[in-house]
Amino acid sequence: MQTSVHSNPASRLTLLRAAMRAQQIDALIVPSADPHLSEYLPARWQGREWLSGFTGSVGTLVVTQDVAGVWTDGRYWEQAEEELAGSGIVLKKIPSGASVLYIDWLGETMQPGQTVAVDGAVLGLANARLLQQALGAQVTLRTDIDVLQAVWPDRPAMPAAPVYEHAPAYPSLSRTQKLAALRAGMAAHDASHHVISTLDDIAYLFNLRGADVHYNPVFLAHALVGPERATLFVADGKVPMALRATLESEGVDVAAYDRTAAALAALPAGATLLLDPRRITFGTRQAVAEAVRVVESINPTTLAKSRKTDGEAAHVRAAMEQDGAALCEFFSWLDATLADPQRAPLTEIGVDEHLTAARARRAGFVSPSFGTIAGFNAHGAIMHYHAHADSAATIEGDGLLLIDSGGQYWGGTTDITRVVPVGTITPEHRRDFTLVLRSMIALSRAQFPRGVKSPMLDAIARAPLWAEGIDFGHGTGHGVGFFLNVHEGPQSISQSAMPEPQTAMEPGMITSIEPGIYRPGQWGIRIENLVLNVPAETTQFGEFLRFETLTLCPIDTRCVERSLLRDDEAAWLNDYHATVRARLAPLLSAPADAPALAWLEQRTGAI
């Protein structure tokens, strides 16, 4: 009965406020977070989405008795306006990178004697400290309550997918080697113990994978690494007995997920615990025994997993070839379908279905690496658009179709954006497309000192757009995992990221390059490749790196205005297409692949 009555955000907000009054809470924070501070959340912790109806992956809901708002950045403004309409919840626009602006609002709004509540189990430690500072001593901060539990009657249970090995042929380093390297990193901080909560760090360290989070092959767990043994805290039944025995023989004990806090509380008084304040929650930090010395620094595994070994890079190149072959099959089908006047209507959802099916036929494919973005015309201008049955556009008439997609393979993670013309496109379309292409080429060709802070490279991509009075509201590039999360750090090519020491560009890092132009209500253009940091040269001024482009898929030259490209830029594009053709053609040699091969040869012709 309660579920059906409270079936929309407005009624859920009413129920929530009643629960807040019962608990004497004046303001409630519902972050987009779980106990591991994940970007993509298991259903159990999608409370912000359940309460507000806003489905973007980034955003914070704050509710008082009078005001309710979702704070999110420019990537989601148009989407949030649409999804929050009629809910009684307003969009609070924040500049890209100003993710804690809601804390400033609470600091200015709350009055002495009032109480702000947030579930400490999902509140990041760094944000908790900012919140405590903003509220001061006169406002009470409660972190001991999960109000969602009282108002969400059919809240999903913890995910129960099994944990499995990342096949030994793929990781270059064994668990034992990775644990030894981690302990060396701990020793540099004089730490006897180290707690890890971020799921991709844990999956990397133990060479394990799971399916607890959509698109990311990770599993819910915490880890505590000691001088001689490590403990993996994971729900009972998720680790098969044979795998558990193997782990224990290699110095890794398996304990119940809910025993993490007790283990931290039981650390000996002489212990020194290393933890990363940006990658651990306030609740986890509170569990640490007071007598334990705590050292704060970035997780050593975050740095280690960002630098792919030569062996891992080779696997990624092979995965890119499989992905590229799938894309050739898909795009050849798409072109033929759009050219058929007798075809059945094709929607944005149909685009997603056919693309995923093409990837599923390739060797080593496991799953998509994120929800496909297929946006036609105005939908392409919504940066993180996702088609739904009741709103998906039909691909017909004239315009541009933006497709941002990726795959998880045993040998790597892919992420690619391409834009294709539909019907007749305009000179304005071609101009915008060519400007974005110039931006992507500019950064793809860059050479830079080893150790340069990744945010400093952002301006290289934006310069061709800035010269025309154009900009885009998202970062230029994010790190990408090795059969792990499609978004990983510590590097980030973004004007809103801080150029901190851990953002230094090092050999082996895989990063996206994805500039764009978005014209609300008209069209969006983004061109994205993944690149690998490789050595360029060593001079008297030090070591220099360059990018090796990993992604293998033609860039649609039908959208290019050749007069806007310099000759050296056209040469880069022609060289790239020659490489794509040479690498993918051998995978399209079967008779059934003839349409895809013909498409590849046509789309990689020189301009």
Residue 97 has pLDDT above 60, yes or no: no
pLDDT for 363 equals 96
Q: What is the mean pLDDT of the segment spanning 131-151?
A: 94
Q: What is the rounded distance in angstroms from the CA atom of residue 408 to the CA atom of residue 319? A: 9
Q: Please state, rounded to an integer, the average pLDDT across all residues of the chain.
A: 95
Query: 276-285, 383-392, 411-420, 545-554: which range is least confident on average?
Result: 383-392
Run of H or E including 115: strand 115-117
pLDDT for 4 equals 40
Q: Which two tokens stand for residue 349?
A: 């959802």
Residue 96 has pLDDT above 80, yes or no: no
Q: What is the rounded distance in angstroms from the CA atom of residue 346 to the CA atom of residue 363? A: 27
Radius of gyration of the chain (CA): 25
pLDDT for 2 equals 34
Residue 6 has pLDDT above 60, yes or no: no
Cβ atoms of residues 565 and 449 within 8 Å:
no
Residue 464's nearest CA partner among 567, 573, 565 is 565
pLDDT for 414 equals 98
Residue 533's nearest CA partner among 480, 593, 474, 579 is 480
Tens-digit pLDDT profile for residues 516-552: 999 999 999 999 999 999 999 999 999 999 999 999 9
Q: What is the mean pLDDT of the segment spanning 355-367?
A: 97
What is the percent of the chain with per-residue pLDDT over 70, rounded to a whole number? Answer: 98
Cα 387 to Cα 292, 350, 393: the distances in Å are 50, 10, 8
Residues 6+ apart with CB under 8 A from 579: 549, 552
pLDDT for 8 equals 86
Domain 164-304, CATH number (from 3.20.20.140, 3.30.420.40, 3.40.50.2300, 3.40.350.10): 3.40.350.10
Please give the class, per CATH, of domain 307-603: alpha beta
Q: Which two tokens stand for residue 432?
A: 């915008």
Residue 225 has pLDDT above 70, yes or no: yes
pLDDT for 372 equals 95
What residues does each domain of the chain span?
2-151, 164-304, 307-603
pLDDT for 5 equals 43
pLDDT for 94 equals 84
Q: What is the mean pLDDT of the segment spanning 142-167?
A: 94
Q: What is the mean pLDDT of the segment spanning 286-290?
A: 94
Tens-digit pLDDT profile for residues 445-456: 999 999 999 999
pTM over 0.75: yes
Q: 2-151 maps to which CATH number?
A: 3.40.350.10
Tens-digit pLDDT profile for residues 23-66: 999 999 999 999 999 988 999 999 999 999 998 888 999 999 99
Is-same-fold flag (2-151; 164-304)? yes
Angle at 511 between CA 485 and CA 218, to 5 degrees: 10
pLDDT for 3 equals 38
